Structure 1
Amino acid sequence: MENVTARMSSEELDLLDRLAEQRDGGRSDAIREAVRRGAREELIRIALERYREGEVGMRGAAEIADVSITRMMREANERGVLSNYDEADLESDADALR
């Protein structure tokens, strides 16, 4: 693992300490968990935003977020993102699976 230094406000440190306490771990564990979850969530949010704007298809959104197309479709559905999936997307995804 690589060491990383970051400045945090007292509010952010309080959140980390509370998380560490609830998870029976230390700050380092809490930071890693928060970054992992937060970064994944932010990547999904960005991917769905680009999908909604028509910049990428569902497969492209899944690639941005590094999740399966099925998971990305579920995330889109749960967040109320309307489908831009058309026949060209279907054909492209079918070609990718061949």
Structure 2
Amino acid sequence: MPSISARIPDQEAETLDEVAALLGEDRSTTIRRALAEGLSDLRVRVAVEQYQSGDVSVNRAARIAGVSLAEWLEIARERNLTSQLTPDDLEADAEAARDL
């Protein structure tokens, strides 16, 4: 596992120690957990922004977010995102579903 180092303000170091204590973990474990959760949140945020601007499709947004298509649709529903699908897209999806 690669090692990284970062400088953080004293206040954030105190917060890190408080959270680590709440979780019953050491600093390193808490940092790894916070990084994983933060990166996941960032991926979803980027996917939401790009999807809402019409820059990416539903499938591409799901890939950017690192989730399945079903999970992406749930995220989109929770955030009240507007569909970027055209009526032609919906018809093509309906045809594909009928062929299954």
TM-score (norm 1): 0.85
**Structure possessing the higher radius of gyration over alpha carbons:** 2
What secondary structure is seen at the aligned counterpart in 2 of 1:13?
helix
CA distance in structure 2 between the partners assigned to 1:79 and 1:68 by the alignment: 16
Residue number in structure 2 paired with 1:32: 32
Unaligned segments of structure 1, at least 5 residues: none
Judging changes above 3 Å, is the alpha-carbon distance between structure 1 residues 56 and 36 closer, same or farther for their aligned structure 2 residues?
same
Residue number in structure 2 paired with 1:66: 66
TM-score (norm 2): 0.84
Residue number in structure 1 paired with 2:89: 88
Q: Which amino acid aligns with 2:22?
A: Q
- Alpha-carbon shift at residue 89 of structure 1 (Å): 6.9
- Aligned-pair Cα RMSD in Å: 1.9
Count of aligned residue pairs for this structure pair = 94
CA distance in structure 2 between the partners assigned to 1:51 and 1:44 by the alignment: 10
Unaligned segments of structure 2, at least 5 residues: none
1:12-31 to 2 correspondences below 5 Å: 12-31=12-31
